[in-house]
Amino acid sequence: MADHKGAAGSEALHVELVAADRTVWSGDAAMVIARTKEGDLGVLRDHAPALSLLAEAVVEIQVEGTDDVVVAAVDGGFLSVAHNRVSILSEHIELGEEIHVERVKAELEEARGLIGANNEAERRVRHAEARLRAAEKVSSGASH
C-alpha cells in the first residue's frame, strides 16, 4: 500500500489473492495470468493501472525467483493492478491443492442436471469446471 512507492521497475510485483473471509495467498510474483470477462490477461511488472472483472476461471501466479506456479480457481470477482501491486478479489477462492476432485465432479454433474432450470446452474457449472482445471493443472505440474 503506502509503502509501495519508489522508482518504477525496481520492485517486484506484489500479489494479494483475497477471498471474502481470508487472504488465500500473498507474495511476490513474476507474472499473473487471469481470465477476465474480455479474455485472458497477463500482468507483468509495471503494468498500467487496470481494474477488470474476472470470469469464473483459473488464476495462475508465477512466483518470483522460483519455478513454482500458484494455481487457484476464482468465482468471479475482480483484479486490480496499480503501482506493481495486484489484488485479486473473489468471494470464493480455492487453491489447486485444496480442491477435492471427486467432490467437484459430483457437483459438476449436479449443476449440469440443473441447467435450464435456473441461471444459477450455469454459473455453478463454470465455477466447478474452473476448479477442476485448477486441480488438474496442479497435479500435472507436480508430476513433471
Partner 1 sequence: MAVSLREYRARIKSTESMKKITRAMELIAASRIIKAQQRAQQAAPYARELTRAVSAVATFSNVDHPLTHEEENPKRAAVLVITSDRGLAGAYSSSVLKEVERLSERLREEGKEIDYFLAGRKAVAYFKFRQRPFVDSWTGFSDQPSYDVAAQIGRALIDAFLKQQGEEGDVDEVHIVYTRFRSMLVQEPTAVRLLPLEVVEGEEPPGEAELLPLYEFEPSAAEVLDGLLPQYVQSRIFYSLLQAAASELAARQKAMKSATDNAEELIKKFTRIANQARQAGITQEISEIVGGVNALADAQAAAND
Asked whether position 5 contacts partner 1 by CB under 8 A, the answer is yes
48 is an interface residue for partner 1 by CB under 8 A:
yes
Distance from C-alpha of 109 to C-alpha of 103, rounded to nearest angstrom: 10
DSSP-assigned states of every residue in 5-32:
-SSTTSSPEEEEEEETTEEEEEEEEEEE
* CB-based burial label for 99 (10 Å; 0-12, 13-18, 19+): buried
Q: Which of 38, 66, 117, 144 binds partner 1 (CB under 8 A)?
A: 38
Q: Looking at beta carbons only, is 49 or 116 nearer to partner 1?
A: 49
Of positions 6, 8, 12, 37, contacts partner 1 by CB under 8 A: 37
CA atoms within 13 A on the CB side of 40: 7
Site for partner 1 in 85-114 (CB under 8 A): 87, 89, 91-92
What's the min distance (Å) between Cβ of 66 and partner 1? Answer: 24
Q: Is residue 14 near partner 1 by the rule CB under 8 A? A: no
Please return the burial class of 65, using the count of CB atoms within 10 Å of its CB with bins 0-12, 13-18 and 19+.
exposed
Residue 25 corresponds to which cell in the numbers above?
495467498
Least Å distance between CB 81 and partner 1?
A: 8
Binding interface with partner 1 (CB under 8 A): 1-2, 5, 16, 18-23, 36-38, 41, 48-53, 76-78, 80, 82-83, 87, 89, 91-92
